[in-house]
Structure 1
Amino acid sequence: MVRPHLTPVSITLQADNSSNAGGAADVGIDQSDRQVRMAATPFLVADIGGTHARVALMRGTHGDTGDIEMLACRVFVCAAFSRLSDLLQTFLAANVQEPVKHCVLACAGQIMGDEVVNDNLAWPIHLTPLREALALDEVAVLNDFEALAFALEGPLTDGGRHLCGPQACSNGPTLVIGPGTGLGAAAHIAGPDGGLVLPTEAGQMDFAPNSVRDREVLAQLAPQGGYVAFERIVSGPGLLTIYLTLCALDGQAPRLNTPEAVTAAALAGGDAHATEAVDMFCAALGSFAGNLAMVFMATGGVYLAGGFLSSLFDLLARSPFEERFLHGRSARALLSQVPVWVTEHGLHGVRGAARWYLKQGTFKPAASRHAATHGASV
Structure 2
Amino acid sequence: MHFKNENDAVLRFPVLIGDIGGTNARFAILVDSNAEPKLFPVVQTADHATIDEAIQTAILDRTSILPRSAVLAVAGPVDGDEIDLTNCDWVVRPRQMIETMGFSDIVVINDFEAQALAAVALEDEHLEMVCPGSPEATGSRVVLGPGTGLGMAGLVHAQHTWFPVPGEGGHVDFGPRSDRDLEIFPHLERIEGRVSAEQILCGRGLVNLYRAIAAADGRDAVRQTPAEITGAGLEGSDAIAVEALDLFVTYLGRLAGDMALIFMSRGGVYLTGGIAQKIVPTLKNGKFRAAFEDKAPHGAMMRAMPAYVITHPMAALRGLAAYARTPIRFGVETEGRRWRSG
Report the TM-score range of the alignment, normalised by the length of the smaller protein. 0.7 to 0.9
Distance 1:202 1:157 in 2: 26
**Residue 16 of structure 2 is aligned to residue 44 of structure 1:** yes
**Residue 293 of structure 2 is aligned to residue 326 of structure 1:** yes
User: How has the CA–CA distance of structure 1 residues 118 and 291 changed in structure 2, closer, same or farther, with 3 Å as cutoff?
Assistant: farther
Shift of 1:334: 1.6
Residue aligned with 2:174, SS: coil
**Residue 197 of structure 2 is aligned to residue 242 of structure 1:** no
**Residue 282 of structure 2 is aligned to residue 315 of structure 1:** yes
Distance 2:243 2:42 in 1: 33
Residue aligned with 2:17, SS: strand
Map 1:166-205; keep pairs closer than 5 Å. Answer: 166=133, 168-171=134-137, 172-205=139-172
Residue aligned with 1:266, SS: helix
Q: Is residue 114–residue 316 contact of structure 2 (8 Å, CA) maintained in 1?
A: yes
Q: Is residue 219–residue 225 contact of structure 1 (8 Å, CA) maintained in 2?
A: no
Counterpart of 1:27?
none
Give the share of equivalent positions with the same residue, in percent: 31
User: Out of 27, 43, 52, which is 1:55 matched to?
Assistant: 27
User: How has the CA–CA distance of structure 1 residues 91 and 206 changed in structure 2, closer, same or farther, with 3 Å as cutoff?
Assistant: same
Counterpart of 1:208?
175
Distance 1:336 1:87 in 2: 46
User: Out of 115, 121, 124, which is 1:154 matched to?
Assistant: 121
Q: Which deviations, in whole Å up to 9, do the C-alpha atoms of 1:283-341 show, x marking residues without a partner?
A: 11111100110001111111212332122111121152112112232121221111111
User: Out of 77, 81, 84, which is 2:51 matched to?
Assistant: 84
Counterpart of 1:7?
none
Structure 1, 306-315 or 74-83: larger mean CA deviation: 74-83
Counterpart of 1:257?
224
Which structure 1 residue ranges, 5 or more long, are not aligned? 1-10, 13-30, 62-66, 362-371
Shift of 1:252: 3.3
User: How has the CA–CA distance of structure 1 residues 140 and 267 changed in structure 2, closer, same or farther, with 3 Å as cutoff?
Assistant: same
Residue aligned with 2:195, SS: coil
Shift of 1:240: 1.9
User: Out of 309, 322, 325, which is 1:342 matched to?
Assistant: 309
Counterpart of 2:3?
none
Counterpart of 1:288?
255
TM-score, normalization by structure 2: 0.84
Distance 1:291 1:118 in 2: 29
Shift of 1:196: 2.1
Residue aligned with 1:178, SS: strand
User: How has the CA–CA distance of structure 1 residues 142 and 224 changed in structure 2, closer, same or farther, with 3 Å as cutoff?
Assistant: closer
Counterpart of 1:19?
none
Structure 2 counterpart of 1:125, which letter?
A: V
Structure number with larger C-alpha Rg: 1
Shift of 1:146: 1.1
Shift of 1:276: 1.1
Distance 1:154 1:258 in 2: 33
Shift of 1:98: 4.5
Shift of 1:118: 5.6
Distance 1:277 1:350 in 2: 32
TM-score, normalization by structure 1: 0.77
Q: Which deviations, in whole Å up to 9, do the C-alpha atoms of 1:62-90 show, x marking residues without a partner?
A: xxxxx453123222233333433333233
Counterpart of 1:122?
88
Residue aligned with 1:74, SS: coil
Taking only aligned residues, the RMSD between alpha carbons, in angstroms, comes to: 2.9
Q: Which deviations, in whole Å up to 9, do the C-alpha atoms of 1:143-171 show, x marking residues without a partner?
A: 112112222332254432221232x3135
Counterpart of 1:275?
242
User: How has the CA–CA distance of structure 1 residues 208 and 352 changed in structure 2, closer, same or farther, with 3 Å as cutoff?
Assistant: same
Residue aligned with 1:140, SS: strand
Which structure 2 residue ranges, 5 or more long, are not aligned? 1-5
**Residue 255 of structure 2 is aligned to residue 298 of structure 1:** no
Shift of 1:269: 0.6
Distance 1:253 1:342 in 2: 32
Distance 1:341 1:180 in 2: 16
Distance 1:225 1:252 in 2: 26
Distance 2:172 2:324 in 1: 29
Shift of 1:130: 5.9
